[in-house]
Chain A
Amino acid sequence: MKNIRNLTAIVTVFVLVLSLLTIASADSAFRTLDEIKSSGTIRIGVFSDKNPFGYVDEYGEYQGYDVFFARRIGEDLGVTVEFVSTEAANRVEYLETGKVDIILANFTVTPERAEKVDFALPYMNVALGVVSPDSRVISDLSELTAEDQVIVISGTTAEDYLIKNNPEIKLQKYDTYANAKNALENGNAAAWANDNTEVIAYALQNEGYTVGIPSLGSQDTIAPAVTKGNETLLNWINDEIKALASEQFFHKDYEATLVDTYGLDYEESLVLEGGGLTE
């Protein structure tokens, strides 16, 4: 009898938590532009393990293309920036729960994501790419055999693309960039699919790897994102991106953070100024 009474109690608590969850998910907590300004700090979600876009350097400082832009946002808003480290899979949740004000973590604009968050104007171009070891370069997805596995990072556009378009490919999923890179180095899979910027950087930084498929799927863009409905902040970011075009800010950003990895060859194809609206 005691067991049954315990069980009833547990089920009751479970249902209670569940109903709280449903209520909570309908209510999104975000901070407006004025609230951010008066608090004196803005919380920006960035990657901590995605060199050279968002990473922590050997002195414990956040660095990278996204971080460079984040610092400028803080400067122009007149507030200090508090960096919050995110993983690919929790970027939407961090905005929905108000843990961060802006996500600047190499966030590719997709229709599904645009239903959940509000994207500002884009600041970078991106497509998917596949990197594999020199010993067996994969230059087409059809070269993968039934035993081959492909590494993807949970919650990325690469994962979504492969699930939808190549459901026959076996995916090996990791939750962080650091783990995925380590797994590729250990030879746990035939290849790694991710944003092409990321895999190109990987092949340039690590000897013995080639980007066999430099462009897969459609050309997309990367943009800052705010919590759905946070119009004041969204408009401010859009104005900021437009204003920064006059000083070619993102070219400067590229030259400060990405040039060491990519050289100057990729500058024009990657960088977007003023949201790309003038082109």
Chain B
Amino acid sequence: MDWGYIQNVLPLYGKAAWLTLRTGAAGILLAAIVGLLCAAASHWRVPVLRRITSAYVEISRNTPLLIQLFFIYYGLPKIGIRTRPEACGILGLAFLGGGYMAEAFRSGIEAVDRIQEESALSLGLTRLQTFLHVILPQAAAISAPAFMANVVFLMKETSVFSAVSLMDLMFTAKDQIGLYYRTAENLFLLVGAYLLILLPLSMLGSVWERRLRYAGFGT
């Protein structure tokens, strides 16, 4: 283990960690929005949208992120749509994550008893009010563990970004090993950096899950 070398490459890993965090966070945020919209569409049984949503969920969950990134980065420019590597990474993550998030939210929404919705409607709440104030808070509590699992999963998926020339943590390590053959040092930094990002994330997740555990009326 050459500590001098580790000190030299540390800034590179800092940059890579920042890229991983930045693209990961943006992708996850978009994925959550997409997932929520999809879950709402299937809850309200919006005629055509419901079909499109379920097709999208199946496609996004049953194709690897690597293939989705290839499609966006190498395929779309052939028909004139060019994305920058970072945007491509975020879009890919949002596409993949959207499907997973939709399923997480849908399972939460379906777990809320129908009587809740019926009671809210009979009390004079509109459908939107019912969804926002009655169903969603309970569904969120039920979905929280699945949601957090998805967040950690999506964060880890950033490790295939090397395919679109993004210098994320994984590619930085690979590149350094290829250039200077310091395998042990770079694997150490790689695992360390991922743990540093993911451990607090999953701990935060479990604290948050416990906070949200108030659902379950009417069951």
Contacts and interface: CB of A to CB of B under 8 A. Distances in A.
Contacts of A135: none
B187 to A, nearest CB: 6
A154 B174 contact: yes
A7 B175 CA distance: 30
User: What's the dominant secondary structure at chain B's contact region?
Assistant: helix
B165 interface: yes
Interface in B171-188: 171, 174-175, 177-181, 183-184, 187-188
Interface in A104-118: 112-113, 115-116
Given A25-B183, A154-B175, A175-B162, A17 B77 contact: no
A31 interface: no
A173 B167 CA distance: 8
Interface stretch (A52-60, A181-189, A204-212): A181-189
B195 A10 contact: yes
A163 B184 contact: no
B165 A183 contact: yes
Nearest to B203: A3
A154 B171 contact: yes
A17 B181 CA distance: 19
B174, B188, B199 pick with most chain A CB within 10 angstroms:
B174
B27 to A, nearest CB: 20
Contacts of B181: 92-93, 96, 112-113, 115-116
A187 B163 CA distance: 16
A166 interface: no
Contacts of A22: 1, 184
B77 A14 contact: no
A255 interface: no
A151 B99 CA distance: 33
A115 to B, nearest CB: 8
Nearest to B76: A186
B191 A96 contact: no
A157 to B, nearest CB: 10
Contacts of A14: 191-192, 195
Contacts of A188: 77, 82, 165
A163 B177 CA distance: 15
Nearest to A189: B165
A21 B179 contact: no
A179 B177 contact: no
B211 interface: no
Interface string A155-179: 1100110010000000011110001
A88 B178 contact: yes
A243 interface: no
B119 interface: no
Contacts of A174: 162, 165
A89 interface: yes
B163 A21 contact: no
A160 B178 CA distance: 10
B171 A21 contact: no
Contacts of B191: 14, 17-18
A188 B84 CA distance: 8
Interface in A241-271: none
B211 to A, nearest CB: 14
Contacts of A154: 162, 171, 174-175, 178-179
Contacts of B206: 3
Nearest to A91: B178
Nearest to A97: B183
A21 B74 contact: no
B187 A186 contact: no
B178 A89 contact: yes
Residue of B171, B181, B187, B191 most packed against chain A (CB within 10 A): B181
Nearest to A182: B74
B63 to A, nearest CB: 18
Interface of A: 3, 7, 10, 14, 17-18, 21-22, 25, 88-90, 92-93, 96, 112-113, 115-116, 154-156, 159-160, 163, 172-175, 179, 182-183, 186-188
10 contacts: A3-B203, A25-B184, A92-B178, A115-B181, A154-B179, A155-B179, A159-B178, A163-B179, A179-B74, A188-B165
Given A173-B167, A174-B165, 17 more contacts: A3-B206, A7-B199, A21-B187, A22-B1, A88-B178, A90-B174, A90-B178, A92-B178, A93-B181, A96-B181, A96-B183, A154-B178, A154-B179, A155-B179, A159-B175, A175-B163, A188-B77
